[in-house]
Amino acid sequence: MFKEIKRKITMFNTLILVIFMFMFIFLLGFLVNWSLTLSGEMYLTTVAKEIISNNGQTTAQPINSGDSVHDKFGYQFIMWDSSHVVKSMKVEDRNLIMLGYELAIEKKDAPQFNLLISDNVEYRVYTLPYSNNSNDYVLQVFQQISTERSIIAYVISFLFLIGLGSIAVLIPISYFLAGKSLQPIKDTFEDQKKFIANASHELRTPLTVIQTNVEVLKLKEDEQIKDNMKWLNNIASEGETMAKLISELLLLAQAENQRLAIDKEVFDISSMCQQMVELMTELANEKEIELSENISPGIQYRGDEERLKQAVRILVDNAIKYTPVGGKVQLCLVQGKRHLVIEVKDTGIGLTDEEKAKVFSRFYRVDDARNRETGGVGLGLNIADYIVKKHNGKIKIDSIPNKGSTFSIVLPKSNQKPDSKKNNIKGDTLK
Ligand code: ADP
């Protein structure tokens, strides 16, 4: 599909180029022709005046009109009297006398320019009727213009060759540039395809589990519910996974469409962190993980409390999920000169440098099998990163495999300036 678009863009660009090239050549040819005709006519007018002032006598010196091109071509002339007899002339091409005669007998009162062809040589002729001592004369001055024509033909064919050469060079360049400009669209398209495939896969898995468990329950229709709690718990847990996934997908879709509003208000970020510890204690206890805190009290921050809470919850949830039974997790809030830092430290499985670089990508999971057990689909950190970026902050990871990790949300304090409440920054989407 993209190859076809690339080919079409190249063809379109080439077509525009060819049209412009033809227009340019046509315009330039027209201008050269127009300027040579104009200067040629001016030359013939000057020569005619000179001949009349010499009373038809040819001068030994060629007339110098100041126009080097036309002076070089030279001129010929015939002066006819009122009975159409040649009074004087300077003619090298004898055919011109006959052609000039035909023009002279037409008897026109106004001066005029004509084009004549004699022996395949083209001439511009200026016919000037005038009177001298009550006698009427017609003066014809000729100049051959074949050289003028060949200059125009030469200029046009030269431009044509240059144009064809440029097109030959520009077609591959245009093809290459079309490819380059399509690359971001291609990447987004591939991303979307991957995203849809991943999302469908993630939704299908819990759905299959639910269907299988329902089938098992159908076979046990005579048994009591309490004897089949295992299957019901499976259904409930997969239902929960699906609900979480759907809400994450919804959030991603809103972010993609720039519709995810970030409502910034001043709130007590210390209390928010404190609440988070209380909220997650039960979950930590279930896994026999010691959840502690080191939160500086009373820190005010301007941001979207709900969204930041969601980001912190993702980090604490991950820390608990990826720390083995008996481990430790700590949530800290520290205030620096320019930044606020929310740290989530754990003594969990840790991450390698290679994994650290990938964890913010959508649907990325270090260990697919283990994560399925924990219910993660690989969207949490992507969402947390998006929320933090919307607050002009960033998430840093320090981690040692099998020792533990520290995920730090670094928020700039300058973010607290009192600007508009709704800050739905455009052009920053989840990747
Ligand atoms: P999930 O919902 O699968 O947890 P996340 O986007 O939150 O998705 O995390 C992506 C992956 O990063 C996880 O699947 C896990 O492999 C890894 N990860 C996240 N947090 C931690 C952590 N604290 N310790 C070790 N690995 C982690």
pLDDT band at residue 205, thresholds of 50, 70 and 90?
A: confident
Let me know: does 344 contact 404? Beta carbons within 8 Å: no
421 vs 211, higher pLDDT: 211
62 vs 342, higher pLDDT: 342
- Same fold across 2-152 and 265-423: no
Q: Which of 322, 344, 346, 370 to mutate to test the pocket of ligand 1 (most atoms within 8 A of CB)?
A: 322
- As a whole number of Å, the CA-based R_g of the chain is 45
Q: How many residues does the chain have?
A: 431
- List ligand 1's pocket residues with C-beta within 6 A: 314, 318-319, 322, 346, 348-351, 359, 364-367, 371, 376-382, 405
Instruction: Give all strands of the β-sheet with 86-90 in edge-to-edge order.
Output: 86-90, 76-81, 135-144, 121-132, 112-118
| Domain regions of the chain by residue span | 2-152, 265-423
Q: Measured in angstroms, how far is the CA atom of residue 266 from the centroid of ligand 1?
A: 30
Q: Measured in angstroms, how far is the CA atom of residue 62 from the centroid of ligand 1?
A: 97
Q: Measured in angstroms, how far is the CA atom of residue 365 from the centroid of ligand 1?
A: 6
Proportion of the chain above pLDDT 90, given as a percent = 43
pLDDT by residue (tens digit) across 70-129? 667 788 999 998 888 988 888 888 888 988 888 888 867 789 999 988 888 899 999 999
pLDDT band at residue 159, thresholds of 50, 70 and 90?
A: confident
Q: Which atom of ligand 1 is nearest to the CA of 318?
A: 20
Q: Measured in angstroms, how far is the CA atom of residue 243 from the centroid of ligand 1?
A: 19
Q: Measured in angstroms, how far is the CA atom of residue 255 from the centroid of ligand 1?
A: 21
105 vs 229, higher pLDDT: 229
3-state DSSP assignment of residue 241: helix
- 265-423: what CATH class? alpha beta
193 vs 299, higher pLDDT: 299
Q: Which atom of ligand 1 is nearest to the CA of 348?
A: 24
Q: Which of 100, 155, 153, 147 is nearest to 128 (CA)?
A: 100
383 vs 259, higher pLDDT: 383
pLDDT at 63 over 80: no
pLDDT at 55 over 90: no
Instruction: Please state the CATH superfamily assignment of the domain spanning residues 2-152 in this structure.
Output: YNR034W-A-like (3.40.1840.10)
pLDDT band at residue 277, thresholds of 50, 70 and 90?
A: very high
Q: Measured in angstroms, how far is the CA atom of residue 321 from the centroid of ligand 1?
A: 8
| 45 contacts: CB under 8 Å, gap ≥ 6 | 126
Taking residues 282-287, report their average pLDDT. Answer: 93
For the ranges 50-64, 179-193, 260-274, the lowest mean pLDDT is seen at 50-64
pTM for this prediction? 0.61
Find tokens 């440029």 and name the residue. 166
Taking residues 165-175, report their average pLDDT. Answer: 90
| 147 contacts: CB under 8 Å, gap ≥ 6 | 73
Residue closest by Cα to atom 16 of ligand 1: 366
